[in-house]
């Protein structure tokens, strides 16, 4: 097989090299603690996180379309992996690891398939409110879930209420040293995110360097706490849980082939991990690309992320996606091409070959603290506030997703969020805005009689329907038209102004046909004006189109003149 | 508790009496074989069908809103009952009967609840194509399923492929006498439906009387075949399956209270039976009411059907709905009020008290034949043909529902149909029609540049977006706008004409905001015209609304004039 030679590699400009190399280095330094921590979050041994930080980066560099997206283990995909697999196998077991690889493989294959079908638009089924509610909900359960390793506790909990109950009932088993170490780490990391950069800038440092130092703090904390634990043998004397032996050397290639029952259990989580990862990656990648006036191609992005997941599965890793914070660091550290990802991958491989024993004494409570601080920024209150103000229905979808995730689980949460957003959509269209309109005096314009002072004719009821006509509102529209006709007993013509109707489905078409017939029996003629081209083309050959012949006008104005003349 | 006194009873007009009485009589004669046959279809003993033909009719007469709907056992609800309960208990067992009553109770309670919440509109989530595909699919599996009793076979089959395989593998067990009796009945009934009325009219009979005689044929067939079987003891000598002993007397009142696991298993089928029964009843009731210029009230109809199902459950029956053919017969036999239903109920009660032993020798194969002929008319090819011609997406929803029902099962079929119809809806809106428009010379009207010869300005790109803006099409709209801007490099203004945009959700709002900002960086101004009142009210207070200040015009014409002046 010949590897593709992506455009960025073919036309590589020398002057990008320094930026790419330094960004690759910095991202690798971030990636080491993150990959260990997210593997823990996913219920996997630490080396799986490291494996997922090598091959996927190379695969994405070959197939992806973003120049600066940093692919690898991320919080949400790790959480979703844990949620999908913990009912199926014991976290950390060989079976669990094999399932995690199969999940990544399935997810990758689905993304590639969607790419082949050019289904990048599938992602649009996730609205912003649902995505926001999902991410915030995930941040909450990740934070709550990390309380266990943070406090040195170990117990199983299937959902948030069980977890909270478990924390209370296990309170006497809290390891005070672990808790102190963890809380100190949180305090330090929050300080270095929120205050350290300003402080350093105050001391005369350049803003970008100050930011960079702050970003390195998690790595420094990890090194320092590891040394501390190792020095005092706290894992033996104080019962501090540590990462333990990490097998040295590169992962071997695996051939993972899920059987049918596994497929049945994993297809939905695989789909959700794939789609959520895709949506997040595209939105991060796009917002970075925009700053450099580049664009990313969603369909190629499907291939890139799909290839990254397949590579992860083949090399002993688990589901990956584009990470938000790492991508931002990569971008601002000067990465201009995916070479920076290649350099990170090489560094991670070197770490795995030469330095894996260094992690043996890394304490779980510190990893938990780094995760908790990292996901803090995922909690998105701003969108909730904005959405509540702008659109009540969207806010319901957001909150429904959030509470679904927190109270029931990630999969239920996102699926019910999607269903909710569609239900809101239909609910809205089910009660369309319909305005009785009249002519603005001396013009050819027609406006709502309630908002403007306009001319009307007593024997013509002109109504503008402000919605596509479909099965969800056909009956409601019919009833609304009937009741407005009842309020204007002199009406001999019902003129529907169709400028805002972009589609009539077959349920609505049948409704209009039976309405026309019923009105004709009552001596009222149905007419239409301003039908859109595409609607007209489909309407004309139908039974309704034929009955309406001679009663369809190009503009409301023409209809008005013609109907006015008929009365006289 | 005092019973309600419905309006029809308070204001009963004497002259309605003869029509109501004779219609009640004729419907009862139809109802006897139908209730026995549909009980068999539902996997229930014959008396349950008779029980479901008494109390529900009385309850509907008290609470329903249609004057002529004939409520009772129907084919689709019987099929859905069998499909929901056969995985849970052995058909015909006491447990199965109890579950059938609980299913009817749940279904009735849900309908009453929906009535209290005035959720008649829930029914609108079932589009015509989905309903049509569902009914046709049900007709197919009912017909195939009745092949077993028709041929005198007995075996279990979970789905259509298993049923067909079973028919082949049990071919040597076919009872030739049962098969002949059944096929002869089918031939006779098809003849009396298709040809007999015309023949009788040819002989000088009035058309309505001829139709009536044809409608009585199933009852005559049942009587004749019962006499035949009883006379020759075919159930003993030839192994013809018969109805057997039907307990005499009225049903006793039951208090059925489902427990939690039963609730979990039955809520979805109960909801589907309720909603499907409601949609069918309203559409039959409405089409009959329209012929007499009456209307039915969907919300009161929920109470009527709900009460009928609760009454059925309380009196040992199972799920009921408004039947199509019986209602038509009731209507054309002269029923003007629900008194006709009361009379049918009284007659059914008398049959149960005095004549239940008469059914002992009624052969199953003849009942199967009456069912098969009755559901023939449910198969709805006309809608498929019409839908295929008018709307490919609706046709996909129809066929998806049909094949879902036939190949997998009734519940999967209808649920996947509903999901499919929503998916089609979103898919459609995902690629909205967008037209570049220009001014019709000498007028204030703007039309598609591809359909009309219109005036445009080189520095203004005016685009009319023919769709609501929402999460499903936000990205597609953005990309389409960008690519059209790229094709008009002189453009300094992008004017969006919003006359067909009835809603902007928060995902689309964010898209527009970021588009506006990106365009501003490129030196292109975003403007809008003809924003609808309700959209404007929500848009103005947002960040986008504030940025657009001074660039929102009432009409495209004003925008055009103002933008033309700016270039000069």
Within 8 A of A421 by CB-CB distance, chain B residues are 471
The distance of B506 to chain A (nearest Cα, Å) reads 7
* CB-facing half-sphere around the CA of A357: CA atoms within 13 A: 1
Query: What are A469's strand-pairing partners?
Result: A504
The distance of B215 to chain A (nearest Cα, Å) reads 28
* CB-facing half-sphere around the CA of A472: CA atoms within 13 A: 20
Which residue positions in chain B have pLDDT lower than 70?
Answer: 1-4, 567-568
What integer pLDDT is reported at residue A496 of this predicted model?
Answer: 95
Q: Do B509 and A125 touch (CB under 8 A)?
A: no
The rounded distance, in Å, linking the Cα atoms of B399 and B200 is: 39
Instruction: Give the pair of three-digit tokens for residue A301.
Output: 């992005």
Within 8 A of B469 by CB-CB distance, chain A residues are none
**Residue B294, Cβ neighbours under 10 Å: how many?**
14
Within 8 A of A519 by CB-CB distance, chain B residues are none
Instruction: Give the pair of three-digit tokens for residue B346.
Output: 């009284």
The distance of A242 to chain B (nearest Cα, Å) reads 44
Do A61 and A317 form a contact (C-beta atoms < 8 A)?
no
What integer pLDDT is reported at residue A484 of this predicted model?
Answer: 92
Please tell me which of the candidates A448, A474, A542 has its beta carbon nearest to residue B533. A448
Q: Closest chain B residue to A537 measured between Cα atoms? A: B390
Backbone angles phi, psi at B531, to 5 degrees: -70, 135
Q: Do B444 and A445 touch (CB under 8 A)?
A: yes
Q: Pick the closest to residue A105 from A259, A239, A234 (CA basis).
A: A259
- Local structure of B494: helix, strand or coil: strand
The rounded distance, in Å, linking the Cα atoms of A288 and A219 is: 25
Q: Do A124 and B389 touch (CB under 8 A)?
A: no
Q: Residue written as tokens 């039959």?
A: B284
Query: DSSP letters along B101-157, please?
Result: HHHHHHHHHHHHHHHHTT-GGGGGGS-HHHHHHHHHHHHHHHHHHHHHHHHT-----
Q: Which of B466, B532, B542 to mutate to test the interface with A (most CBs of A within 10 A)?
A: B466
Q: Which of A471, A511, A536 to mutate to test the interface with B (most CBs of B within 10 A)?
A: A471
Q: Pick the closest to residue B217 from B187, B189, B184, B181 (CA basis).
A: B189
Do A45 and A73 form a contact (C-beta atoms < 8 A)?
no
The distance of B494 to chain A (nearest Cα, Å) reads 19
- Give the distance from CA A32 to its chain's centroid: 25
Within 8 A of B505 by CB-CB distance, chain A residues are 127, 391, 393-394
- Across B41-151, the runs of DSSP E, i.e. the strands, are 70-72
Do A66 and A292 form a contact (C-beta atoms < 8 A)?
no
Q: Which of A118, A119, A124 to mutate to test the interface with B (most CBs of B within 10 A)?
A: A124
The rounded distance, in Å, linking the Cα atoms of B528 and A437 is: 22
CA distances from B500 to A430, A465, B172, B468 (A): 17, 10, 65, 7
Q: Closest chain A residue to B298 measured between Cα atoms? A: A475
Query: DSSP letters along B197-212, please?
Result: HHHHHHTT--HHHHHH
Angle at A459 between CA A453 and CA A462, to 5 degrees: 55
Please tell me which of the candidates A124, A444, A501 has its beta carbon nearest to residue B471. A124
Within 8 A of A509 by CB-CB distance, chain B residues are 390
The rounded distance, in Å, linking the Cα atoms of A2 and A76 is: 34
Q: Closest chain A residue to B128 measured between Cα atoms? A: A507
Backbone angles phi, psi at B483, to 5 degrees: -70, -30
What integer pLDDT is reported at residue A308 of this predicted model?
Answer: 97
Within 8 A of B301 by CB-CB distance, chain A residues are none
Within 8 A of B435 by CB-CB distance, chain A residues are 533
- How many contacts, defined by CB atoms under 8 Å, are there between A and B? 145
Please tell me which of the candidates A422, A443, A466 has its beta carbon nearest to residue B502. A466
- Local structure of B385: helix, strand or coil: helix
Q: Do B500 and A532 touch (CB under 8 A)?
A: yes
What integer pLDDT is reported at residue B349 of this predicted model?
Answer: 94
Angle at A284 between CA A278 and CA A286, to 5 degrees: 95
CA distances from B249 to A238, A291, B50, B357 (A): 80, 83, 11, 11
pLDDT per position as a tens digit, B109-120: 999 999 988 777
Please tell me which of the candidates B128, B503, B541 has its beta carbon nearest to residue A507. B128
pLDDT per position as a tens digit, A455-510: 888 899 999 998 889 888 888 899 899 899 999 888 999 999 998 898 899 989 98
Do A36 and A50 form a contact (C-beta atoms < 8 A)?
yes
The rounded distance, in Å, linking the Cα atoms of B378 and B137 is: 9
B126 CB-near residues (< 8 Å, 6+ apart): A471, B275, B276, B279, B414, B418
Q: Do B422 and A421 touch (CB under 8 A)?
A: no
Q: Closest chain A residue to B398 measured between Cα atoms? A: A506
Gyration radius from chain A CA atoms: 30
pLDDT per position as a tens digit, A98-108: 999 999 999 99
Do B310 and B108 form a contact (C-beta atoms < 8 A)?
yes
- Give the distance from CA A65 to its chain's centroid: 18
Please tell me which of the candidates B443, B503, B541 has its beta carbon nearest to residue A428. B503
SS (H, E, C) B200-264: HHHCCCCHHHHHHHHHHHHHHHHHHHHHHHHHHCHHHHCCCCECCCCCCCCCCCCCCCCCHHHHH
Q: Pick the closest to residue A344 from A48, A550, A53, A12 (CA basis).
A: A53
Within 8 A of A429 by CB-CB distance, chain B residues are 468
Q: Do B443 and A444 touch (CB under 8 A)?
A: yes
Please tell me which of the candidates B501, B518, B533 has its beta carbon nearest to residue A290. B518
What integer pLDDT is reported at residue A326 of this predicted model?
Answer: 87
The rounded distance, in Å, linking the Cα atoms of B286 and A543 is: 21
Q: Closest chain B residue to A521 measured between Cα atoms? A: B293
The distance of B536 to chain A (nearest Cα, Å) reads 12
The distance of B540 to chain A (nearest Cα, Å) reads 10
Q: Which of A423, A447, A502 to mutate to test the interface with B (most CBs of B within 10 A)?
A: A502
Q: Do B507 and A533 touch (CB under 8 A)?
A: no
What integer pLDDT is reported at residue A2 of this predicted model?
Answer: 58
Do B374 and B75 form a contact (C-beta atoms < 8 A)?
yes
The distance of A160 to chain B (nearest Cα, Å) reads 23
Q: How many helices (H) and strands (E) does chain A have?
A: 25, 8
Do B41 and B80 form a contact (C-beta atoms < 8 A)?
no
Which residue positions in chain A have pLDDT lower than 70?
Answer: 1-4, 567-568
Angle at B529 between CA B523 and CA B530, to 5 degrees: 165
User: DSSP secondary-structure letter at B358?
Assistant: G
Please tell me which of the candidates B394, B421, B466 has its beta carbon nearest to residue A532. B466
Please tell me which of the candidates B394, B428, B474 has its beta carbon nearest to residue A506. B394
Q: Do A444 and B445 touch (CB under 8 A)?
A: yes
Q: Pick the closest to residue A327 from A215, A447, A172 (CA basis).
A: A215
What integer pLDDT is reported at residue B214 of this predicted model?
Answer: 82
Q: Do A505 and B542 touch (CB under 8 A)?
A: no
Backbone angles phi, psi at B141, to 5 degrees: -75, -30
The distance of A41 to chain B (nearest Cα, Å) reads 31
The distance of A380 to chain B (nearest Cα, Å) reads 15
Within 8 A of A129 by CB-CB distance, chain B residues are 471, 506-507
- Give the distance from CA A473 to its chain's centroid: 30
Please tell me which of the candidates B391, B445, B534 has its beta carbon nearest to residue A506. B391
Q: Do A471 and B421 touch (CB under 8 A)?
A: yes
Burial of A489 (0-12, 13-18, 19+ CB in 10 A): exposed
Q: Closest chain B residue to A541 measured between Cα atoms? A: B390
The rounded distance, in Å, linking the Cα atoms of B392 and B417 is: 15
- What burial letters (b/e) apply to B382-412, b meaning 16+ CB within 10 Å? ebbebbeebbebbbbbbbbbbbbbbeebbbe
Q: Do B471 and A127 touch (CB under 8 A)?
A: yes
Please tell me which of the candidates B129, B435, B467 has its beta carbon nearest to residue A506. B129
Please tell me which of the candidates B128, B430, B476 has its beta carbon nearest to residue A471. B128
Q: Do A507 and B129 touch (CB under 8 A)?
A: yes
Query: What are B438's strand-pairing partners?
Result: B447
**What is the H or E stretch that residue B511 is in?**
helix B506-521
What integer pLDDT is reported at residue A274 of this predicted model?
Answer: 93
Q: Pick the closest to residue A470 from A512, A442, A520 (CA basis).
A: A512
Q: Do A426 and B125 touch (CB under 8 A)?
A: yes
ipTM value, please give it.
Answer: 0.78
What integer pLDDT is reported at residue A225 of this predicted model?
Answer: 92
User: DSSP secondary-structure letter at A242?
Assistant: B
B162 CB-near residues (< 8 Å, 6+ apart): none
């Amino acid at each position: 097989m010949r590897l593709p030679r992506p455009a960025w590699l073919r036309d590589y400009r020398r002057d990008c090299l320094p930026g790419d190399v330094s960004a690759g280095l910095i991202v690798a330094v971030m990636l080491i603690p993150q990959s260990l921590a997210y593997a823990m979050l996913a219920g996997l041994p630490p080396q799986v996180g490291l494996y997922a930080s090598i091959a996927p980066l190379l695969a994405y560099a070959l197939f992806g379309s973003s120049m600066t997206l940093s692919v690898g283990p991320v919080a949400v995909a790790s959480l979703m992996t844990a949620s999908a697999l913990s009912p199926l196998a014991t976290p950390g077991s060989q079976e669990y690891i094999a399932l995690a690889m199969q999940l990544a493989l399935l997810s990758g294959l689905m993304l590639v398939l969607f790419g082949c079908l050019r289904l990048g638009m599938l992602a649009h089924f996730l609205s912003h409110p649902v995505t926001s509610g999902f991410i915030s909900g995930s941040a909450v359960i990740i934070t709550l879930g990390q309380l266990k390793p943070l406090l040195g506790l170990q117990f199983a909990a299937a959902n948030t209420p069980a977890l909270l109950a478990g924390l209370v009932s296990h309170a006497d088993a809290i390891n005070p040293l672990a808790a102190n170490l963890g809380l100190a780490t949180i305090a330090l990391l929050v300080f270095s995110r929120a205050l350290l950069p300003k402080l350093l800038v105050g001391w005369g440092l350049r803003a970008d360097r100050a930011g960079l130092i702050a970003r390195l703090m998690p790595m420094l904390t990890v090194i320092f706490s590891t040394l501390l634990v190792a020095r005092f043998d706290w894992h033996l004397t104080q019962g501090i849980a540590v990462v333990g032996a990490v097998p040295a050397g590169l992962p071997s290639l695996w051939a993972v082939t899920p059987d049918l029952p596994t497929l049945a259990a994993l297809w939905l989580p695989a789909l959700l991990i794939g789609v959520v990862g895709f949506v997040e990656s595209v939105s991060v990648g796009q917002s970075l690309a925009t700053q450099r006036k580049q664009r990313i191609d969603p369909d190629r992005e499907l291939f890139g992320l799909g290839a990254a997941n397949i590579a992860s599965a083949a090399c002993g890793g688990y589901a990956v996606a584009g990470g938000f914070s790492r991508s931002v660091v990569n971008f601002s550290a000067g990465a201009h091409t995916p070479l920076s990802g290649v350099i990170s991958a090489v560094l991670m491989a070197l770490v795995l070959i030469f330095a894996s024993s260094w992690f043996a004494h890394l304490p779980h409570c510190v990893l938990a603290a780094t995760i908790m601080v990292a996901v803090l920024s995922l909690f998105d209150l701003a969108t909730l506030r904005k959405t509540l103000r702008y659109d009540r229905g969207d806010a319901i979808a957001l909150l429904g997703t959030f509470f679904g995730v927190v109270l029931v689980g990630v999969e239920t949460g996102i699926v019910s969020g999607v269903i909710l957003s569609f239900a809101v959509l239909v609910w809205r269209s089910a009660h369309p805005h319909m305005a009785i309109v009249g002519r603005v005096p001396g013009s050819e314009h027609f406006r709502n009689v309630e908002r403007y002072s306009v001319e009307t004719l007593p024997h013509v009821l002109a109504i503008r329907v402000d919605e596509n006509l479909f099965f969800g509102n056909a009956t409601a529209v019919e009833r609304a038209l009937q009741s407005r006709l009842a309020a204007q007993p002199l009406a001999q013509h019902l003129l529907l102004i169709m400028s805002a109707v972009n589609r009539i489905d077959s349920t609505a078409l049948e409704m209009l046909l039976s309405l026309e017939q019923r009105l004709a029996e009552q001596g009222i003629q149905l007419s239409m004006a301003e039908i859109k081209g595409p609607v007209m083309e489909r309407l004309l050959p139908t039974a309704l189109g034929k009955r309406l012949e001679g009663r369809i006008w190009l503009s409301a104005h023409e209809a008005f003149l013609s109907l006015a003349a008929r009365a006289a």
